[in-house]
Structure 1
Amino acid sequence: MDRSIADIREKLEKKEAVVMTAQEVSELVDRGESITTMDVDVVTTATRAIMSGTYALLSFPVNSPLCFKRASKVLLNGVPAHVGPCPNESLGVLDLIVFGTAHSTLEHNYGAGHLFRELVEGKNIEVSVVTDENVSFKSEIKLEDMPYAKLYATRHAFKNYAAFVNCSTEPVNTIFHATQFSPSMNGATLSGCGEINPVQNDPKMETIGIGTRMLMNGAEGFVIGEGTRSSPGKPNLTGVADMHGMDPALMGGFKTSAGPECIASWAIAIPVTSQSVLDAVLKTDKDIPMVVNDVDKRVMIGSSTYADAWKNTDPTVMFNPEVCLNCEVCKPIRDCPMEAIYLQNDRMILDRYLCFNCGLCSTVCPGEVFTAKLGTLHFEKDAKQLKIPIVLRQSDRKRSEELAEKLKKKIIDGEFKINEMVEKIYP
């Protein structure tokens, strides 16, 4: 029986609605329990991953009015910003666009993702300006002093992404690995949160559309349409949210062998309005294909499922600094894409606040300081059954599950209102 979002919202207001996370639904399915549209009204979904299609639009005062006419070059903590689209410099105000893939000119492993997180953390950001008259000056700014700071998605929340292996005989530098990608299919990396991914739970876009309210990095925002390279078969979304309300723990920068990338998080509530929506919600990781691509040629070479990554694996890394071998070069410190591992007073530290749960440290540590079961890809290639160990995850399933729980609580407490879309993305 089909239901309207208005019907479900009325049940929420009366405290009669059943709200579950996608993970909770999947656990019931795995136990063999039957679920109908009468059993659940809203399912909360989430994803946290590297999302290159990100940019910030910032507007803030940088100097007194009439001090300069126009800026020709602006750096924020060394990260290049594009001046415009409105030239307000005569007012002492900069309008800037910062691409999420921008790299610092000062620090090799620092990029826009790091900048966005530090802004949200309330840190001082150095602003370096060169005017059209070739006059240079510097100032500092905090997010709280920016009247306008919004984060935009041009390509976020893919229905699901892919796993990668390197089929060539040479190492490859790529955004799909934190270090050089080893040759000859010695290891695999992956992205995608499988059964809890937002668009995976509404692939026909029956409830997600233009104007749908969502959380981006913990702040309320809206879906504004389909993303670049989106298609009905492999949809992704564009969206916008105010940076002032974001949670720094849900965003950040991620070091790759091709330079730093940008992390973003989404959470979307899926109202169970029809049987077709419920059918998508009931799919678990073992039912969701995960394409395996050759990272060198960017072509599909096989297919696995998300069960290989997320079933019977460890969402976080076990940390036991007492067994450290005191290697001359600590590979987990050297390779951690979040710089979350470091020495303090000769003791190994793992900063869980920064940690992305990628698991790379467990694969490069020669001892057992860092241990985790990351899973193994199983797929067929050239009539052979292959088993490739996963060595890096570029999606954070642990924090995604936590974000879906937070959205569930917000809905139950009446702090997050489910709304009808303005228009369908795919009519």
Structure 2
Amino acid sequence: MERTVEEICEKISKREAVVMTAHEICRLVMKGEDIKLEDVDVVTTGTRAIMSGTYAVMSFPIEAPRQFTRAKKIFLNGVPAFSGPCPNERLGILDLMVFGTSHSNLRPDYGAGHLFREMVQGKEIEVSVITDENDTFTSSITLDEMPFARLFGTRHCFKNYSAFVNCSSKAVNTIFHATGFNPDLSGATVSGCGEINPVKNDPLLETIGIGTRFLMNGSEGFVIGSGTRSSAARPNLTGFADMHDMDPQLMGGFATSAGPECIVSWAIPIPVTSQVVLDAIKTTDAGIPLPVMDVDCRKPIGQADYGNVWHDVDLAVMFKPSACRQCPTCEAEEKCPMDAIYWNNGKLVLDRYLCFNCGLCSTLCPAGVFTARLGSIKANMKCCDAESYREVPIVLRQSDRKRALKMAEDLKNKVIDGSFRIGQMAERLK
């Protein structure tokens, strides 16, 4: 039995559709229940992670001390922007792009991800301009004053990303760790939300296509194609959404040992149109491959699964400030990639609004102020030409499954109450 998206949408409009999250389906499967096609109509999914291939396009008028021909260089809070694609000669309007990997020339741990979040928070942004005439001036603007501001993803929502380990005998600075990646297989970092990831739940892209409506950072947007480096085995997506409607809690900047990166969140509803789609939805974390990569040479050395990452672990870091020993240097505070740990009037604070639940603090604090079971990567790994079974503890997560679960739940409620409308794609992705 197969169903069309139109048939499912009609059931939604009549309030007859069964809408569940991917997590709910997988929990039923693990309990031994046999989920059939007639049991569910729509499954909601979500992922929140550091996502490469993020950029913003903006256009806004700028107050200048005198008329200028074009802006040659532009900086937003010190983050470089690229002028164009429209020249806007003598109009006093800036059209620009900001790459998610760009870093501030003023603060080394501040990047485009931080900038995007502060814009969505409504904070005033400093705009510095160097014109074709080599005049320099600064102004300020808020997102509300920008007529056009959209966030794009060119390589988002990988069905299954990778776990990283360091087989070498030296520390490695990399975007895949918040600190120098310690040598000799002493720890692993991971990314990917496993069974609730959107593309994992529709790996053949039967229902996700060009024109599919989804939520990026809480704002309605559209899928516009396959992402860069997308493949049949590891598909990913391209999409965009308006920044004006985004939720700052779902985005931000994440400091790595190779510079700040950009956090982005996606939530997509999957109409359950066929048995193929349902079978993918029913695949739990333990059935999703997780390639293990050597971060030093960037080569695959083994394969684990997402059960290693998300089964029997803590999704959130537990915080017990009374256990603090007042260490001369608080490593957890110093190395938190989100700056979510700080002191206030002599008291240690964990800002849950900022916290990404990466778990790094739990591996650094000797007193147990921060604790979390992060799991371990278990696989046969070929390191230094010798293959053996290894169990490497996870020391950092670059995906926040706790908030991704909430996003899927929120989207489920929106589909049920009609505030989010599922639509038919314009064309299948190739």
Q: Paired residue for 1:230? A: 230
Q: Per-residue CA shift, 1:369-397, capped at 9, x if unaligned? A: 00000001100124421110000000000
1:151 positional shift: 0.4
Q: Paired residue for 1:34? A: 34
Q: Paired residue for 1:347? A: 347
Q: Paired residue for 1:393? A: 397
Q: Paired residue for 2:418? A: 414
Q: Is residue 66–residue 91 contact of structure 1 (8 Å, CA) maintained in 2?
A: no
Question: Does 1:217 pair with 2:209?
Answer: no
Q: Paired residue for 1:99? A: 99
Question: Does 1:77 pair with 2:77?
Answer: yes
Q: Is residue 66–residue 92 contact of structure 1 (8 Å, CA) maintained in 2?
A: no
Q: Paired residue for 2:242? A: 242
The 2-side partners of 1:194 and 1:235 are apart by: 14
Give the alignment of 1:307-326 within 5 angstroms.
Answer: 307-326=307-326
1:233 positional shift: 1.5
Structure 1 unaligned regions, length at least 5: none
Q: Paired residue for 1:265? A: 265
The 1-side partners of 2:215 and 2:89 are apart by: 33
Q: Is residue 79–residue 112 contact of structure 1 (8 Å, CA) maintained in 2?
A: yes
| Identical residues among aligned pairs (%) | 63
The 1-side partners of 2:416 and 2:221 are apart by: 19
The 1-side partners of 2:302 and 2:52 are apart by: 24
Q: Paired residue for 1:379? A: 379
Q: Is residue 64–residue 139 contact of structure 2 (8 Å, CA) maintained in 1?
A: no
Letter of the structure 1 residue corresponding to residue 184 of structure 2: S
Question: Does 1:115 pair with 2:144?
Answer: no
Q: Paired residue for 1:21? A: 21
Q: Is residue 64–residue 137 contact of structure 2 (8 Å, CA) maintained in 1?
A: no
Runs of 4 or more above 3 Å deviation: none
Letter of the structure 1 residue corresponding to residue 145 of structure 2: D
Query: Which is worse superposed, 383-392 or 12-21?
Result: 383-392
Q: Is residue 359–residue 393 contact of structure 1 (8 Å, CA) maintained in 2?
A: yes
Letter of the structure 2 residue corresponding to residue 391 of structure 1: V
1:207 positional shift: 0.3
The 2-side partners of 1:380 and 1:30 are apart by: 26
The 1-side partners of 2:89 and 2:363 are apart by: 50
Question: Does 1:60 pair with 2:53?
Answer: no
Number of residue pairs matched? 426
Q: Is residue 65–residue 137 contact of structure 2 (8 Å, CA) maintained in 1?
A: no
Give 3-state SS (helix, strand or coil) of 1:38's partner: helix
Give 3-state SS (helix, strand or coil) of 2:182's partner: coil
Give 3-state SS (helix, strand or coil) of 1:91's partner: coil
The 2-side partners of 1:278 and 1:191 are apart by: 24
Give 3-state SS (helix, strand or coil) of 2:396's partner: strand
The 2-side partners of 1:203 and 1:420 are apart by: 17
Letter of the structure 2 residue corresponding to residue 197 of structure 1: N
1:88 positional shift: 1.4
Q: Is residue 160–residue 200 contact of structure 2 (8 Å, CA) maintained in 1?
A: yes
1:52 positional shift: 1.5
Letter of the structure 2 residue corresponding to residue 250 of structure 1: L
The 1-side partners of 2:348 and 2:400 are apart by: 23
The 1-side partners of 2:46 and 2:160 are apart by: 12
Give the alignment of 1:112-191 within 5 angstroms.
Answer: 112-191=112-191
1:63 positional shift: 2.2
1:89 positional shift: 4.7
Q: Is residue 45–residue 197 contact of structure 1 (8 Å, CA) maintained in 2?
A: yes
Letter of the structure 1 residue corresponding to residue 370 of structure 2: F
The 2-side partners of 1:127 and 1:85 are apart by: 18
